[in-house]
């Protein structure tokens, strides 16, 4: 069967930039455009030229992409011609091969937001699209609030779409702007647009995730005949976000009926770069990746329960809907109090430790994990701490260094100018092959930890002089720090989980538990360093 072409339109750089807290620089936008192009989307909406300096600068230095670079703007205002509308001119001046303009299709918005007549709005749509086409550009019409408009005044909402199409729009994109539509109504309204005369291979879908249905709504539109899907990497976007392309792309490529019915610009090879693309965006945004993200999250193929891990060891398809490698992700078998010996052996194997079934060490490790978890530890994300515990029990943990003592002081005071200053200082003494080394740190500068308090002072002191091991830890960065008060037995204790990254991008996490938050953090930091030394020695 010949496959139909389904087009992917990415709006990370435009609607994604409308996410609260997201502010891309021009170089961020260029880096994201390169990732999207590598992935194989058909269109990259780069932003709104003329609306802000970053977007203008991005288009002034627009990267050369295989994907069609698209500028975004709005229909001309009433009372002037398309040629004389300076906002539309700013968009066209970006000289992109495609231009997408948003226009109202809900009578309520025409009346309330624009304050013009319904006929004037139709004229604005018609004239703006015709002007874009006359400039030799591909025109796209984002039918704003289409689904709400279709419910309120179906004839008018359809008239707007047909007007844009007849004026020459290559795509009429149906927007669920407020994100409140549900799949059945999206399917019905999309079918109505096609029945009204806009062919399905000219209809696109742009959804928002306000009811967590953005992906389902996009698929409903495709089922009804739409052939362009808009979305963003990791579902960035205004309010609750847009349809998540990181979910939609693998679904369209790997799941029936879509995989049999359509071809997209994303090849199976490019699909294996999806997890990396998702994490790269998080890196640019300085966000901690969502562990439970479908397909690409680090927990998407994590098998925690003993029954699951036991079956996975026999055949991974028992508990996996796809092979994680298809999207560049990896399977993990975390350790926890839900684990049995199958989890344990799989997890040890993943860490390069082979233990024969029935080895008494397995039961000892499992007992210790379960006892530690009931005391407040959590090993399912802190895989590095788990590995150290297992090696200790197996007698294969090298003694790199011992911590003899640490001391940390935090002080809030007024300086000589009467300003309030908060300072922390730490002293750590370690011994390496019997030789003591003492390091001191006082916070004066912001560091890679988001706060510059006592934990950071300890971290800086601990990592500042490890003699023969120093070169191995110089590229370590702390990337996340989570604190939770939890119940350890009958007492409330503090659990600290720290995530690290090295210069090569490897990540690992450790856990520390104590009645004292600083001590819990210190234990986690200590293990973070020991695991890095262990890993680097194994690789040397
Ligand atoms: C659904 C979406 O997400 S569409 C994308 C929305 N994105 C953005 O708004 C981000 C970029 N926007 C901006 O930087 C600014 O809003 C600008 C530069 C475009 C316009 O700024 P300003 O001229 O100061 O206008 P302001 O933002 O206050 O209001 C928008 C104006 O556009 C008008 N407008 C809104 N939609 C449309 C449209 N589709 N066609 C024509 N005019 C429109 C509004 O009626 C309003 O006009 P008014 O000031 O006469 O009431
Ligand atoms: C155009 C757009 O982003 C919307 O209507 O949601």
ipTM: 0.95
pLDDT of residue 341: 84
Per-residue HEC secondary structure of 79-126 comes to CCCHHHCHHHHHHHCCCCCEEEEEEECCHHHHHHHHCCCHHHHHHHHH
Instruction: State how far the Cα of 388 lies from the Cα of 382, in Å rounded to an integer.
Output: 10
Which has the closest alpha carbon to 344: 380, 373, 378? 380
DSSP letters spanning 273-307: THHHHHHHHHHHHT----TT-TTTSTTTTB--SHH
- Find the residues whose C-beta lies inside 6 A of ligand 1: 18, 48, 51-52, 74-75, 77, 102-104, 113-114, 144, 177, 238
Per-residue HEC secondary structure of 168-209 comes to CCCEEEEEECCCCCCHHHHHHHHHHHHHCCCCHHHEEEEEEC
Q: How far is the CA of 114 from the centre of ligand 2 (A)?
A: 16
Q: Residue ranges of the domains in the chain?
A: 4-266, 306-393, 402-539
Query: Over the stretch 74-88, which tens digit does the pLDDT of each residue have?
Result: 999 999 999 999 999
- Pick the atom of ligand 2 nearest to 237's CA: 3
pLDDT at residue 269 greater than cutoff 70: yes
Running DSSP on this structure, what letter comes out for residue 41?
Answer: -
The secondary structure element, H or E, covering residue 420 is: strand 420-432
- Pick the atom of ligand 2 nearest to 11's CA: 3
394 contacts: CB under 8 Å, gap ≥ 6: 353, 355, 361, 365
Query: Over the stretch 185-198, which tens digit does the pLDDT of each residue have?
Result: 999 999 999 999 99
Q: What CATH architecture does domain 4-266 belong to?
A: Alpha-Beta Barrel (3.20)
CA 240 to chain centre: 13
Substitution candidate for ligand 2 out of 91, 109, 144 with most atoms within 8 A of CB: 144
Instruction: State how far the Cα of 53 lies from the Cα of 58, in Å rounded to an integer.
Output: 8
Q: Are 389 and 365 in contact (CB under 8 A)?
A: yes
pLDDT of residue 450: 47
Query: Over the stretch 319-328, which tens digit does the pLDDT of each residue have?
Result: 999 999 999 9
pLDDT at residue 395 greater than cutoff 60: yes
Which has the closest alpha carbon to 304: 337, 282, 268, 276? 337
Query: Over the stretch 497-521, which tens digit does the pLDDT of each residue have?
Result: 999 999 888 889 999 999 999 999 9
Give this prediction's pTM.
0.80
Radius of gyration of the chain (CA): 28
Q: Are 274 and 246 in contact (CB under 8 A)?
A: yes
Dig out the tokens for 97 from the structure: 């091969």
Q: Comparing 289-293, 378-382, 499-503, which segment has the lowest mean pLDDT? A: 378-382
Q: Are 375 and 400 in contact (CB under 8 A)?
A: no
pLDDT at residue 338 greater than cutoff 80: no
Instruction: State how far the Cα of 35 lies from the Cα of 27, in Å rounded to an integer.
Output: 13
pLDDT of residue 490: 65
Mean pLDDT of 9-30: 95
The CATH number of the structural domain formed by 402-539 is 3.30.160.270
Roughly what angle, to the nearest 10 degrees, separates helices 214-224 and 183-195?
30
pLDDT at residue 487 greater than cutoff 80: no
Mean pLDDT of 160-168: 98
For residue 445, what pLDDT band results from cuts at 50, 70 and 90?
low
Substitution candidate for ligand 2 out of 206, 207, 218, 239 with most atoms within 8 A of CB: 206
For residue 444, what pLDDT band results from cuts at 50, 70 and 90?
low
CA distances from 483 to 229, 404, 488 (A): 40, 25, 14
């Amino acid at each position: 069967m010949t496959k139909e072409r389904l087009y992917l339109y990415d709006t990370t750089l435009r609607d994604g930039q409308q996410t609260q807290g997201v502010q891309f620089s021009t170089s961020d936008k260029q880096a994201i455009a390169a990732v999207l192009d590598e992935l194989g989307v058909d269109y990259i909406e780069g932003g709104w030229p003329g609306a802000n300096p970053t977007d203008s600068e991005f288009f002034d230095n627009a990267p050369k992409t295989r994907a069609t670079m698209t500028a975004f703007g709005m229909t001309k205002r009433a009372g002037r011609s398309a040629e004389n509308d300076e906002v539309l001119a700013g968009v066209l001046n970006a000289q992109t091969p495609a231009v997408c303009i948003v226009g109202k299709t809900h009578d309520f918005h025409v009346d309330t937001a624009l304050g013009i007549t319904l006929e004037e709005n139709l004229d604005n749509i018609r004239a703006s699209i015709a002007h874009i086409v006359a400039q030799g550009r591909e025109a796209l019409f984002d039918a704003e609030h289409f689904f709400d408009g279709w419910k309120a005044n179906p004839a008018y909402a359809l008239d707007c779409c047909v007007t844009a199409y007849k004026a020459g729009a290559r795509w009429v994109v149906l927007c669920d702007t407020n994100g409140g539509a549900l799949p059945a109504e999206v399917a019905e309204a999309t079918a109505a647009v096609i029945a009204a005369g806009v062919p399905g291979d000219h209809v696109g879908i742009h959804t928002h995730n306000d009811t967590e249905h953005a992906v389902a709504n996009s698929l409903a539109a495709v089922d009804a005949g739409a052939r362009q899907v808009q979305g963003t990497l990791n579902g960035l976007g205004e309010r609750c976000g847009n349809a998540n392309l990181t979910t939609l792309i693998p679904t369209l490529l790997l799941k029936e009926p879509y995989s049999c019915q359509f071809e997209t610009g994303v090849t199976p090879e490019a699909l294996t770069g999806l997890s990396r693309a998702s994490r790269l965006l998080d890196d640019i945004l300085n966000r901690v990746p969502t562990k439970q993200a479908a397909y690409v999250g680090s927990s998407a193929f994590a098998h925690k329960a003993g029954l699951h891990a036991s079956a996975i060891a026999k055949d991974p398809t028992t508990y996996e809907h796809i092979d994680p490698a298809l999207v560049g992700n990896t399977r993990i078998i975390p350790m926890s109090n839900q684990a049995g010996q199958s989890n344990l052996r799989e997890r040890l194997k993943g860490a390069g430790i082979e233990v024969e079934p029935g080895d008494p060490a397995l039961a000892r490790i499992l007992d210790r994990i379960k006892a530690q978890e009931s005391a407040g530890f959590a090993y399912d994300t802190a895989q590095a701490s788990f590995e150290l515990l297992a090696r200790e029990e197996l007698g294969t943990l090298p003694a790199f260094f011992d911590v003899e003592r640490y001391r940390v002081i935090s002080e809030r005071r007024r300086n000589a100018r009467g300003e309030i200053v908060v300072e922390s200082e730490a002293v750590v003494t370690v011994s390496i092959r019997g030789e003591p080394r003492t390091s001191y740190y006082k916070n004066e500068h912001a560091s890679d930890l988001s706060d510059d308090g006592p934990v950071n002072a300890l971290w800086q002191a601990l990592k500042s002089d490890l003699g023969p091991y120093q070169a191995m830890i110089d590229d370590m960065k702390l990337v996340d720090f989570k604190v939770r008060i939890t119940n350890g037995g009958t007492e409330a204790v503090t659990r600290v989980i720290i995530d690290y990254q090295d210069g090569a991008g490897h990540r690992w996490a450790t856990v520390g538990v104590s009645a004292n938050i600083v001590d819990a953090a210190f234990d986690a930091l200590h293990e973070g360093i020991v695991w890095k030394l262990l890993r680097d020695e194994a690789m040397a």
